[in-house]
A and B are shown apart, each in its own frame.
Chain A
């Protein structure tokens, strides 16, 4: 009998189904559960009220990242509510025997940065966390998605989650990316084409030459943004790039276990004739550096283009006008040359070493624009260490920038890193919703290169111009 051909997603999903409920969700076993201080306290409270235990504490990992300060982390946390959440995490993890890399721990950092960095995230796993950008871990060929607090309680108490099986979508991008085009641009481009609801109900597989050529950091950036088009998650089939990234990391398998794992991981790909419920094809040559002009991540354009009119953008006119009004922009205006007040590089989208290398490549030999406030926030202490060791720190300080300490920071502005009302921020994070980076803040999402170009010129600038000058100087 011939085996039914399946997708990568089916292979991983089906291997984790404990039970199927008729006309209901599947019960899915979860291999790794990440928790943080903001979405876990109420879940632990629920456990306590029901008198339940944590079923497999060794499968859960905790970090403090969402509300933590990015300066003076050695001092007690000032905000009493944040301090209380951090304390709750510390107590809960100690009580149930869960490993906790809190503030001050050298492995502390943003949850979706430290999972891969320490070899906790592996191909073929199911991974959940009470944060929607859990989709990041899909870069390893894992099924990874964000969950709500009730579901956090579910996973703590039963290591399982109930989920209707999503439909499958494949997004192919073929060809070669142009010079100065980064994975973030690929993600923003796809979202601008699909809209923020375009992949709702689907799990995405990214395929094609562009993703095959991409580094793990880049794949993480793309998978991270999957949620911004409504998808539960996105994944890339593991390959040599994946395996060499994982090998030697702290929690990665070794010896015989590595060989066994590798043999299995190599089977993790969609069959040649696998059928997807939806499929898209894009050409890498069509992608230029992207920037958003509105209040959701789908409102993005190539940096040299003008803001569309409501008609051109499609969708509801009232919502479009509300967005432009909030941003203080007009239809048909160019984005290039718009004044910027703040620049934020960091977050689980673009807070990895490759992102800071890109940022530094533009900044090198230049100075921060006087009126710009820049928050440069590594995704983890490991990234921070790399920044120092690779000389990026020196490039930054010579240009007048300061390096902050790791955390989510201005990605969601739960700590003090808030963009003031009315100010414009070019941000490498993932959401430009109204007030996301502080009440009244106006966010322009972009890549680390575009962020760097804005940081040194003070306005929205095509980074390719600056990179070209750089090359001339060096030649």
Chain B
């Protein structure tokens, strides 16, 4: 599935200072019934966002017009639980291109990178700083540079670097995915399969 290339992202951000946000919250199981990858953004954080009758809950941040932007800043251990890639699709489809947290669950991190979302892992201190800056001034802009592997609060110029392996970085910057790579090495795979035990 093609996604937009990622290089430099400058945007305001939406704060979600909750820890251990699991993928069942990001997209509840009952919305996994699609056979196509469309429209998941509407149900992003469905049960936190809407009440049982489908009315928006005023106290949830996505319903608060104060905050908007392409960057989601979330509490520690984001994306734990179910392996559903639908969680990453919902985040992408809603319009986020980058999620910042002090810790990510493994499968969610992989899924994000595979669908073109950049997971940026920062220190707990920098995460606190981000929450404070955004909540004090919802117009706070963040700049995420993938080539420089740097996230910066534009106003104050405070920044922190983040890790990403060079293979994934190259893929994201060029909009490539793993399937392209694997298709190009099919001969090696067939040769390996020949001597495989199972």
Interface residues, chain A, CB within 8 Å of chain B? 15, 18-19, 21-25, 27, 29, 31-32, 38-39, 41-42, 45-46, 50, 52, 55-56, 59, 66-67, 79, 81-82, 84-85, 88, 122, 124-125, 130-132, 146-151, 153-154, 157-160, 162-164, 166, 196-197, 200-201, 227, 230, 232, 264, 296, 315-316, 318-319, 322, 412-414, 421, 431, 433-436, 439-440
Q: List 12 A-B contacts (CB under 8 A).
A: A39-B32, A45-B35, A81-B33, A84-B33, A132-B83, A197-B103, A200-B105, A315-B19, A412-B82, A414-B29, A435-B28, A439-B47
Contact of A19 among B20, B35, B188, B193 (CB under 8 A): B188
Q: Which residues of A are found within 8 Å of B165, using beta-carbon distances?
A: 23-25, 164
Q: Is B143 an interface residue, CB under 8 A from the partner?
A: no
Are A67 and B19 within 8 A (Cβ)? no
* A162/B178 contact (C-beta < 8 A), A32-B198, A439-B47 known: yes
- Which B residues from 140 to 198 make CB contacts under 8 A with A? 165-168, 177-179, 181-183, 185-186, 188-189, 192-193, 196-198
Bound CA span A29–B185, Å: 12
Q: Which residues of B are found within 8 Å of A264, using beta-carbon distances?
A: 197
Contact of A24 among B28, B30, B167 (CB under 8 A): B167
* A413/B30 contact (C-beta < 8 A), A27-B185, A159-B189, A230-B106 known: yes
Q: Which residues of B are found within 8 Å of A227, using beta-carbon distances?
A: 81
* A201/B106 contact (C-beta < 8 A), A50-B179, A52-B183, A433-B81 known: yes
Bound CA span A42–B114, Å: 14
- Which B residues from 82 to 134 make CB contacts under 8 A with A? 82-86, 88, 103-107, 110-111, 114-115
Are B80 and A230 within 8 A (Cβ)? yes
CB nearest to B198 among chain A residues? A31
Are B80 and A296 within 8 A (Cβ)? yes
Q: Which residues of A are found within 8 Å of B166, using beta-carbon distances?
A: 22-24
Contact of A318 among B18, B32, B182 (CB under 8 A): B18
CB nearest to B104 among chain A residues? A200
CB nearest to B28 among chain A residues? A435
Bound CA span A196–B111, Å: 19
Q: Which residues of B are found within 8 Å of A316, using beta-carbon distances?
A: 19, 75-76
Shortest distance from the beta carbon of B30 to any chain A beta carbon, whole Å: 6
Contact of B193 among A29, A157, A164 (CB under 8 A): A29
Shortest distance from the beta carbon of B98 to any chain A beta carbon, whole Å: 18
* Chain B 5-30 interface mask (CB, 8 Å, partner A; 1/0): 00000000000011110101100111
Are A431 and B81 within 8 A (Cβ)? yes
Are B107 and A147 within 8 A (Cβ)? yes
CB nearest to A231 among chain B residues? B106
Contact of B33 among A19, A22, A85, A166 (CB under 8 A): A85
Are A197 and B80 within 8 A (Cβ)? yes
Bound CA span A412–B165, Å: 34
Shortest distance from the beta carbon of B102 to any chain A beta carbon, whole Å: 10
